[in-house]
Amino acid sequence: MYHWPTGENRVQDKGNGDQRKKEGLANIRVILGKEDDPLLPAKSVDAVLLLKTYHEVAQPIRLLKRTREAMRTGALLGIIDRNGKGDDHGLDKDVVIKEAERAGFVLVNQYDFVKPDNVDYFLVFRAARF
């Protein structure tokens, strides 16, 4: 499992190898990616989850394209975020869907069970076949 923190300060959360082992998280490898590239090895992951961070991504299509390169055949991409306008810690799910499609993904499912207030959404994508 790779833990891709969204900022330098987040590396400390799970970046300490001794702390990860103590917490039973020895299978996590921390990679400090770039804002437009997670720096994951090619074809190395079966699933990717962007949890409440997509709205912060400055270059989402570039990031998703590079994330796609790291995904194995059949891998899934999950994006959990909240509806919003981009400046309020959220982004409309239709914008996310369109950007993911531009990056070469197809929407395979969406869920609204994340929270009962229906503000959050959970989108699941698979890489499109070209």
Together in a domain, 27 and 38 = no
Asked whether the beta carbons of 123 and 100 are under 8 A apart, the reply is yes
Residues 60 and 95 grouped into a single domain: yes
Question: What DSSP character marks residue 26?
Answer: T
Residues 71 and 110 in one domain: yes
For residues 73 and 4, give the distance between their C-alpha atoms in angstroms, rounded to a whole number: 21
Predicted pLDDT at 2: 66
Query: Do 24 and 43 share a domain, yes or no?
Result: no
In 1-130, the DSSP E strands lie at 2-3, 29-30, 45-51, 71-82, 105-111, 120-127
| pLDDT score, position 81 | 92
Note whether 67 and 107 are same-domain residues. Answer: yes
Q: Are residues 26 and 51 in the same domain?
A: no
- The answer to whether 120 and 108 have CB atoms below 8 angstroms apart is no
Q: How far apart are CA 123 and CA 36, in angstroms?
A: 20
Per-residue pLDDT of the chain (130 residues; tens, 9 = 90+): 666 655 544 545 545 566 667 777 777 777 888 888 999 999 999 999 998 889 989 999 999 999 999 999 999 999 999 988 877 788 999 999 999 999 999 999 998 766 677 788 999 999 988 6
Nearest to 2 by CA among 72, 106, 65: 72
- Residue 11 confidence (pLDDT): 46
Cα distance between residue 41 and residue 87, in whole Å: 32
Measured CA to CA, the distance from residue 92 to residue 109 in angstroms comes to 16
Longest dimension (CA), the chain: 44
Enclosing domain of residue 48: 34-127
Please indicate, yes or no, whether residues 92 and 118 belong to a single structural domain of this protein: yes
pLDDT at 98: 98
Q: Please give the tally of structural domains in the chain.
A: 2
